[in-house]
Structure 1
Amino acid sequence: MTLALRKPMTFAEFLAWEERQELRHEFDGVGPVAMTGGTRAHAAIQRNLAFALTARLRGQPCQYFGSDLKIRTADDHIRYPDGFVTCTGGDNASRMVADPVVIFEVLSPSTAASDRIVKAREYQAMPSVQRYVMLEQDRVGATVHVRSGETWTLEIIAEESVLTLPEIGVSLPLAELYEGLVFEADQEEGPAPEGG
């Protein structure tokens, strides 16, 4: 078996290279990693997240951004999270943010392992990040990493729960982020029988 070895890139080389690309790429410290397309469920969760947070943050100093802006992690990696909130201003022409407060990733089969381990470590190493929310794609649920001083705790949020984000003064029903989606378990239950 022949394995292709990637020639390592520096952070500066990656940024210059990415400027010339049509598609977005993350940077893992060695080289570019192409961003793949998502599913309908993934897109619906991202849309619902944008609507929910943008409305709740209107008029506040914190702002929600989607996956068009990149984040520079503490170890000079580049990530394009599915969404994040930052509470500091920035240049309108900027394509990179260094100080997100809350980060969201929608888990998919191809990225879940990286989101749960690699990105969790990277995001936790960023002093500005107070909460990292991983949203399930195939059911209503979330895993939330919460900073508490120098340590992190883990919360599992179930279907009927409220997602609380005190760092940005927002609480919302988790189910709101899944509006418009029907999962297999929901279809199997079906409507209640009529009659008596």
Structure 2
Amino acid sequence: MVVQIPPSLHSIEEYFALEETADYRSEYRDGEIVPMTGGSINHNQIVVNLIIALTLALREQDYHVYANDLRLWIPRFRQYTYPDVLIIKGEPVFESGRTDTVLNPNIIFEVLSKSTSSRDRGDKFTYYRSIPQFQEYVLIDQYQIHIEQFSKTPEGNWLFSESDAEDGVLTLVSANCQIPHRQIYERVKFDRNE
């Protein structure tokens, strides 16, 4: 018989005390503190490419692009996460008393890895959908050209689209911009064993 030991639960105050002194970032999952794994070179290159392409594409609009060091609080599910890239329309709304934790992303990008793919597609998407401003979710494969996109309709439904076309274009409906797949995957090498 295998006995499972439940994870020890921590308060939000304990989580922040750890975050302020740790050499690594952790997510907070309703009492559980989960250290984040390091990213691969492909993961990092895609994030850098996204930040550059999105910043240029949105520079004349009231959107702001933020990278994976900005924490997101999802109150309904008591989750603190670090999306790979997020876009906020207008000014960020911060969690009370904090300047490093936002509440109002419109678009979230996650670069998929073998260890995070299931969670990014499942629980995280469920949590993100509880954010009123949230309009689009983009999942980017780091092992091959493959992009999945979920876009919220005016009726509140989510439309799914995907593409693996090298010459494809990612169209962000809510931000009225387009990013060619080639820009997203520039300098990414799929032959690396990661």
State TM-score, norm by structure 1. Answer: 0.86
Secondary structure of 1:38's partner?
A: coil
| 1:182-193 matched pairs, under 5 angstroms | 182-184=189-191
| 1:72-151 matched pairs, under 5 angstroms | 72-73=73-74, 74-90=76-92, 94-148=99-153, 149-151=155-157
Q: Give the distance between the partners of 1:182 and 1:23, measured in 2 at CA.
A: 26
| 1:19-98 matched pairs, under 5 angstroms | 19-73=20-74, 74-90=76-92, 94-98=99-103
Larger Cα-atom Rg: 1
Does structure 2 retain, via aligned residues, the 8 Å contact 1:141–1:174?
Answer: no
Q: CA deviation at 1:12?
A: 4.2
Does structure 1 retain, via aligned residues, the 8 Å contact 2:72–2:103?
Answer: yes
Q: Give the distance between the partners of 1:180 and 1:19, measured in 2 at CA.
A: 34
- 1:170 maps to 177
Aligned partner letter, 1:152: W
Q: Give the distance between the partners of 1:12 and 1:76, measured in 2 at CA.
A: 13
Does structure 2 retain, via aligned residues, the 8 Å contact 1:11–1:76?
Answer: no
- 1:153 maps to 159
Q: CA deviation at 1:98?
A: 0.3
State TM-score, norm by structure 2. Answer: 0.87
Secondary structure of 2:62's partner?
A: coil
* Structure 2 residues not aligned, in runs of 5+: none
The root-mean-square deviation of aligned C-alpha atoms, in Å, is 1.9
Pick the structure with more helix per residue. 1
Q: CA deviation at 1:28?
A: 1.1
Secondary structure of 1:113's partner?
A: helix
- 1:191 maps to none
Percent identity among equivalent residues? 29
- 1:193 maps to none
Q: Give the distance between the partners of 2:78 and 2:90, measured in 1 at CA.
A: 20
Aligned residues: 184
Does structure 1 retain, via aligned residues, the 8 Å contact 2:93–2:102?
Answer: no
* Structure 1 residues not aligned, in runs of 5+: 185-196
